[in-house]
Copies of this chain bind each other. A is one copy, B any other.
Amino acid sequence: TRSIDLAVVAGDGIGTEVVEQGLAVLEAAVAGSDVKVSTTEFDLGARRWHATGETLTDTDLEAIKGHDAILLGAIGDPSVPSGVLERGLLLKLRFALDHYVNLRPGKLYPGVTSPLADPGEIDFVVVREGTEGPYVGNGGALRTGTPHEIATEVSVNTAFGVERVVRDAFARAQERPRKHLTLVHKHNVLVHAGHLWRRTVEAVNADFPDVTTDYLHVDAATIFLTTNPSRFDVIVTDNLFGDILTDQAAAITGGIGLAASANINPDRTAPSMFEPVHGSAPDIAGQGKADPTATVLSVSLLLDHLGLSDAAQRVEAAVAADLVERSAGHGRVRTTAEVGRELAARVAG
Contacts and interface: CB of A to CB of B under 8 A. Distances in A.
B82 A187 contact: yes
Contact of A83 (B135, B149, B187): B187
Contacts of A31: none
A153 B151 contact: no
A140 B155 CA distance: 10
A12 to B, nearest CB: 13
A306 interface: no
A117 B112 CA distance: 14
A83 B222 contact: no
Count chain B CB atoms within 10 A of each CB in A150, A153, A223 and give the residue with the most: A153
Contacts of A76: 188
Interface residues of A, number: 68
A61 interface: no
Contacts of A145: 199
A244 interface: yes
A79 interface: no
A192 B140 CA distance: 6
B155 A153 contact: yes
A156 interface: yes
A143 B250 CA distance: 38
Interface stretch (A19-27, A157-165, A170-178, A311-319): A157-165
B155 A192 contact: no
A146 interface: yes
A181 B312 CA distance: 44
Contacts of A230: none
Contacts of A252: 226
Contacts of A135: 189
Nearest to A83: B191
B251 A149 contact: no
Contacts of A114: 117
Contacts of A156: 150, 152
A213 interface: no
A166 interface: no
A151 B193 CA distance: 5
A187 B188 CA distance: 25
A206 interface: no
A192 B218 CA distance: 23
A195 interface: yes
Interface in A204-253: 218-220, 222-223, 226-227, 240, 243-248, 250-252
Interface of A: 76, 82-83, 86-87, 91, 114-118, 134-135, 137, 139-141, 143-160, 163, 186-196, 198-199, 218-220, 222-223, 226-227, 240, 243-248, 250-252, 255-256
Given A82-B187, A145-B199, A189-B240, 16 more contacts: A83-B189, A83-B191, A115-B118, A117-B117, A139-B190, A139-B191, A139-B192, A143-B159, A148-B160, A152-B154, A152-B155, A154-B154, A189-B243, A219-B246, A227-B251, A227-B255
Top 6 closest A-B pairs, CB basis? A219-B247, A226-B251, A149-B159, A222-B248, A151-B192, A83-B191
